[in-house]
Amino acid sequence: MRDERGEMVRNAHILGFFRRICKLLYLRTKPVFVFDGATPALKRRTVIARRRHRENAQAKIRKTAEKLLLNHLKAMRLKELANDLENQRKSNVGKGKKVVVERDNVDKGKKVITEKDDAAGTFGKSDSSDTKDYDQEALDAM
């Protein structure tokens, strides 16, 4: 802003601001003033609450993703075990051996899969290399 002689008006920024406010009031517009400085307590609490809510939501999403991945891995492992058992049974049937699945009463949940040969008369004996132990509790814990 300059005066009639072309020189800069002292405190022109304040005078310009005042004229703009007067014009807004004349046009029946309510001006809103924002001042720099420290954040008001209400705004500070609101921002903190939003941040906490966002962090909780991200943690919940992360936990859900971990659970989904863990369940998927469990399902894959159980399918692999089922396929291994099925392949073992098929190979034993092809060899003329009978597969017997027994439950151990002493150790609950422990399955012992043994191959027994009826033709050789060794029913009840099991070869340690052909025996696999699957702990049902470990599978359930997966």
Q: What is the mean pLDDT of residues 52-69?
A: 97
Contact assessment for residue 125 and residue 115, using Cβ atoms and an 8 Å cutoff: no
pLDDT at 131 over 50: no
The kind and range of the H/E element at 13 are helix 12-26
User: Cβ distance 59 to 65 under 8 Å?
Assistant: no
Over the stretch 73-105, which tens digit does the pLDDT of each residue have? 999 999 999 999 999 888 887 776 555 555 554
Give percent of the chain above pLDDT 70: 67
Which range among 29-38, 47-56, 104-113, 131-140 shows the weakest confidence by mean pLDDT? 104-113
Our CA angle for 69, 70, 76, nearest 5°, is 90
- What does pLDDT average to over the chain? 78
If you average pLDDT over residues 122-126, what whole number do you get?
A: 46
Measured CA angle at 58 (ends 52, 61), to 5 deg: 140
Name the band, by pLDDT with cuts 50, 70 and 90, for residue 133: low
Percentage of the residues of the chain whose pLDDT score is greater than 90: 44
pTM (two decimals): 0.40
